[in-house]
């Protein structure tokens, strides 16, 4: 019997990872060392610190590993613009303004920068954004967290992959 070889046609489509926002909900007491190290790699050193993360395989694995201490989900454009405008910082802890965006990047305003971040054209690793701080220091949420901070989102809590609820959580924390 002869072996039949199948040709697999590969489509050259460029994969654009989704932009996630992750915020640390719980503190360090009782936390395993490996999870604490992973949170430090994600730059979430303190409670209520949030970061933008691109959803490639390695980062998603880190998010899943820390799911008992953080909330994460896919951020939308409107929320990203508001987050950059209200909580964005540049070096020396000064607020991020449109003037800084024009001087430091190739974009004119918050909307253009947010679209570029969502489309994957630019990331925080780029030399264009090296002066913009990658960590967003947020307030505790107004009217509290949804349910308990010790339960996952599916169980009525705030932890883990919260999907689009992350946008509502960000608005509560600005």
Query: Does a structural domain hold residue 149?
Result: yes
- The per-residue pLDDT for 144 is 93
Q: How many whole angstroms separate alpha carbon 68 and alpha carbon 36? A: 11
Query: Does a structural domain hold residue 130?
Result: no
Query: Does a structural domain hold residue 13?
Result: no
Query: Does a structural domain hold residue 92?
Result: no
Residue carrying structure tokens 């880190």: 62
Of 29, 60, 66, give the one whose Cα is nearest residue 44: 66
Query: Does a structural domain hold residue 9?
Result: no
Read off the CATH number of the domain in which 169 is found.
Answer: 3.30.1390.20
Contacts of 154 (CB under 8 A, 6+ apart): 160
- The per-residue pLDDT for 14 is 54
What's the pLDDT tens digit per position in 60-99?
999 999 999 999 999 999 999 999 999 999 988 999 999 9
Query: Does a structural domain hold residue 151?
Result: yes
Instruction: Give mean pLDDT, residues 143-161.
Output: 93
Contact 107, 100 (CB under 8 A): no
- The per-residue pLDDT for 128 is 66
Lowest mean pLDDT among 59-68, 96-105, 153-162: 96-105
165-173 and 77-87 helices, crossing angle to 10°: 20
Domain count, the chain: 1
Query: Does a structural domain hold residue 31?
Result: yes
Query: Does a structural domain hold residue 104?
Result: no
Q: Is 43's pLDDT higher than 80?
A: yes
Structure tokens at 106: 């190739």
Q: In terms of residue numbers, what domain contains 41?
A: 19-77+136-173
CA 76 to chain centroid, in Å, comes to 11
């Amino acid at each position: 019997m002869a072996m039949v070889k199948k040709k697999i046609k590969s489509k050259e489509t460029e994969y654009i990872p989704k932009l996630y926002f992750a915020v640390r909900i719980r503190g360090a007491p009782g936390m395993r060392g490996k999870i604490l190290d992973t949170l430090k790699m994600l730059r979430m050193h303190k409670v209520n610190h949030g970061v933008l993360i691109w959803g490639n395989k390695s980062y998603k694995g880190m998010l899943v590993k820390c799911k008992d201490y953080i909330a994460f989900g896919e951020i939308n454009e409107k929320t990203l613009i508001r987050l950059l405008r209200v909580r964005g910082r540049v070096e020396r802890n000064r607020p991020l303004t449109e003037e800084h965006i024009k001087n430091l990047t190739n974009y004119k305003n918050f909307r253009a920068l947010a679209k570029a971040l969502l489309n994957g054209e630019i990331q925080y690793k780029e030399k264009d954004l090296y002066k913009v701080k990658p960590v967003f220091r947020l307030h505790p949420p107004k009217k509290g967290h949804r349910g308990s901070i010790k339960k996952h989102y599916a169980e009525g809590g705030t932890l883990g992959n919260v999907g689009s609820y992350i946008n509502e959580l960000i608005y509560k924390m600005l």
